[in-house]
Structure 1
Amino acid sequence: MKHTRIAALAALGVAASLSLTACGGDDSGKDSSSKGSSSSSSSSEGGSKPDSGSGSGGSQAGDAKAGSGEDTKAEAAANGAAQTGGKVTFCKTEDLAIDATDAAPDEASGRINITMVNRGSATCSATGFAGVDIKDVDNTSNPIERGQAQPRITTLKAGDAAVFNLAYDIDSSGESLAHPTNIEVTPPNETHSVTLDWPAAAGDIKGAYTDVQVYPTHTTK
């Protein structure tokens, strides 16, 4: 009977040992599978990065942006060159021969024509309004207001002339309070001026110097 119990216990020990071995095999299988799955996932992610386009595709996008920027700069430069190439510089006072003459069309309308001749060697622009001050015998200087007129393109080649005029009403009463002696002229877009004599034949100014107006330049052709 004792022998039988010993044999039974031995059999139980063998069964328990086999059971533990089986459990250990299952765990190791799961770990191996999990590691394999993790390794496979990592491999898959590692392969997806180059294929995602975030590297090479992003670089191409950057190149495209850089290229478009260069194109914009080139276009702007070309436009700037075209604009600069089609534009002439303004006439300098030192390159202009300027004089004033009486050009009254009748006894009631006073007009002084001021002519500017380009005596330089290069084409220049005299477009716009000249600055004009009339000096009186009492040594005052009176700025002349602009008339209601739009400037006209006035481009002068060497030897060409531009004209602008001063307009006012003539006072035939002999009681005019304005006694002009000189006209100070600053060509359009210039800062240097010249002083001309008031034309001796010009009629007297009716009213004040504020009633005289200057009109924009135009060519004589």
Structure 2
Amino acid sequence: MKYTRITALAAVSLAATLSLTACGSDNSAQGSVSKDSSSTAGSSSSDNQSSSDTGSKSQSNSGSDGSQAGSAKSGSGQDTAAETTSNGTAAGGKTTFCKTKDLAIDAAPDSADPGRVNITMMNRGATTCSATGFAGVDIKDADHTSNPIERGHAQPRITTLKPGDAAVFDIAYTADNSGNSLSSPTNILVTPPNETHTVTLNWPTGAGDIKGAYTDVQVYPTHTVNQG
């Protein structure tokens, strides 16, 4: 009877030992799994950080290259805009308008028509220029009034002047042969086409008297001498 009781106690003790061993093994396994999961998560985080760094570097490099390309284009554009040719034309081949200071301007009566005054503009500058269009003309009278002259009905002709070339335009009116003209012109004020600076010329000796008022006088566009 005593032996049987000892045997039963030994069996209970063995069962408890096995139970504790099993629990320790499960905890150890869970700890191992947890560590592995943590390690995997850490590895994924490291990979993601590496990808982020790579993307950031790629964007940084791309932005730098783009900025350099834009700067090069801007520089090229500025160089093109600044280009001019040595003969006075702007970039693209457009000729600049003649400046008053570069023109020698003179007025003379037309030998074939007493009701016409020819005004010549010679390019004394060093570059080619354009005198195309209508000059501004006022006639100053002996009574000190200044009278603007209207444009005649004519189309401007291309008038490009190389250094030494001349352009001509006319002011025309009906000549008064009666000797009773009420007009007494003393000066012609000329502003070349597309200019703002004016020169004052003397009314040419030998020009016919003006019949009627200054409103009857007309100015015509410029043309080169060889255009007639």
TM-score between the two structures when normalised by the length of structure 1: 0.76
Instruction: Give the whole-Å Cα distance in 1 for the aligned partners of 2:216 and 2:34.
Output: 106
Partner SS state of residue 97, structure 1: strand
Q: Which of residues 55, 66, 69 in structure 2 aligns to 1:67?
A: 69
**Which residue of structure 2 aligns with residue 137 of structure 1?**
142
**Which residue of structure 2 aligns with residue 160 of structure 1?**
165
**Which residue of structure 1 aligns with residue 107 of structure 2?**
100
- The answer to whether the aligner puts 1:188 opposite 2:181 as a matched pair is no
In structure 2, the CA distance between the partners of 1:207 and 1:36, relative to structure 1 (3 Å rule), is farther
Shift of 1:96: 2.8
The residue type equivalent to 1:96 in the other structure is: L
Structure 1 stretches lacking a partner, 5+ long? none
Residues 135-194 of structure 1 deviation map (CA, whole Å, 9 limit, x = unaligned): 122211112233444443333233321111123344567665443221111223444322
**Which residue of structure 1 aligns with residue 90 of structure 2?**
84
Shift of 1:71: 3.1
- The answer to whether the aligner puts 1:26 opposite 2:29 as a matched pair is yes
Instruction: Give the whole-Å Cα distance in 2 for the aligned partners of 1:16 and 1:208.
Output: 135
Are the equivalent residues in 1 in contact too, given 2:103–2:122 (CA < 8 A)?
A: yes
Are the equivalent residues in 1 in contact too, given 2:90–2:96 (CA < 8 A)?
A: no
Partner SS state of residue 122, structure 2: strand
TM-score between the two structures when normalised by the length of structure 2: 0.74
Shift of 1:64: 4.2
Instruction: Give the whole-Å Cα distance in 2 for the aligned partners of 1:121 and 1:75.
Output: 29
Partner SS state of residue 196, structure 1: strand
Matches within 5 A, 1:178-217: 178-217=183-222
- The answer to whether the aligner puts 1:37 opposite 2:40 as a matched pair is yes
Are the equivalent residues in 2 in contact too, given 1:116–1:161 (CA < 8 A)?
A: yes
Instruction: Give the whole-Å Cα distance in 2 for the aligned partners of 1:124 and 1:79.
Output: 20
Instruction: Give the whole-Å Cα distance in 1 for the aligned partners of 2:81 and 2:190.
Output: 35
Are the equivalent residues in 2 in contact too, given 1:104–1:112 (CA < 8 A)?
A: no
Structure 2 stretches lacking a partner, 5+ long? none
Instruction: Give the whole-Å Cα distance in 1 for the aligned partners of 2:198 and 2:224.
Output: 20
In structure 2, the CA distance between the partners of 1:185 and 1:16, relative to structure 1 (3 Å rule), is same
**Sequence identity (%):** 53
**Which residue of structure 1 aligns with residue 123 of structure 2?**
118
Q: Which of residues 219, 222, 225 in structure 2 aligns to 1:220?
A: 225
In structure 2, the CA distance between the partners of 1:220 and 1:2, relative to structure 1 (3 Å rule), is same
The residue type equivalent to 1:70 in the other structure is: A
